[in-house]
């Protein structure tokens, strides 16, 4: 194993213990697992999505789809409360405010045909549920 691999940090993993409000949930990991206020986590779909070779149809691997990203706001020994933190702008008055405010950085996106896209989560699969997998978002993923 190379020194670089030995120094790689493993994400903290857990499960959703309960949904508190539409913006807040409890996870079953806390101080005892290394969670600190401000750490970010992603809540994942129940099952990873298959990635297949377009020529042979061989399964190449799996991709986890993210339901929501949350940040730890309160950390106890065995659990943490987390809150959604991502925002988006809607058209209208906020567009005028953004013109007058500081410039925003918008990431480049991929241009792809619909047939190349992995299938999105269904409406039912997108709901956050007790028992959903939770994985810490490491700095490289931010």
On whether residue 116 sits in a domain, the answer given is no
Say how far apart CA 12 and CA 4 lie, in whole Å.
19
On whether residue 45 sits in a domain, the answer given is yes
Say how far apart CA 113 and CA 95 lie, in whole Å.
29
Q: At 60, which CATH number?
A: 2.40.10.410
pLDDT tens over the chain, length 142 residues: 444 544 568 999 999 999 999 999 999 999 999 999 999 999 999 889 999 999 999 999 999 999 999 999 999 999 999 999 987 665 555 555 555 666 666 666 666 677 777 788 888 888 999 999 999 999 866 5
Using CB atoms within 10 Å of the CB of residue 67, give its burial: 0 to 12 exposed, 13 to 18 middle, 19+ buried: buried
* Structural domain boundaries, residue 130: 12-105+125-141
The total of structural domains in the chain comes to: 1
pTM, whole model, 2 decimals? 0.75
Q: What is the pLDDT of residue 103?
A: 60
Helix, strand or coil, per DSSP, at residue 68:
strand
On whether residue 1 sits in a domain, the answer given is no
Q: What is the pLDDT of residue 134?
A: 95
């Amino acid at each position: 194993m190379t020194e670089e691999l030995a120094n790689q940090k493993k994400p903290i993993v857990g499960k959703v213990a309960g949904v508190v409000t539409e913006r807040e949930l409890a996870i079953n990991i806390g101080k005892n697992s290394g969670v600190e206020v401000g750490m970010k986590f992603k809540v994942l779909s129940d099952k990873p999505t298959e990635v297949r070779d377009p020529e042979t149809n061989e399964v190449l691997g799996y991709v986890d789809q993210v339901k929501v990203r949350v940040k730890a706001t309160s950390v106890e020994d065995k659990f943490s409360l987390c809150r959604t933190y991502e925002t988006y702008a809607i058209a209208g008055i906020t567009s005028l405010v953004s013109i007058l405010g500081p410039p925003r950085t918008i990431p480049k996106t991929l241009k792809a045909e619909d047939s190349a896209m992995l299938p999105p989560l269904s409406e039912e699969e997108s709901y956050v549920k007790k028992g959903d997998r939770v994985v810490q978002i490491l700095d490289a993923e931010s």
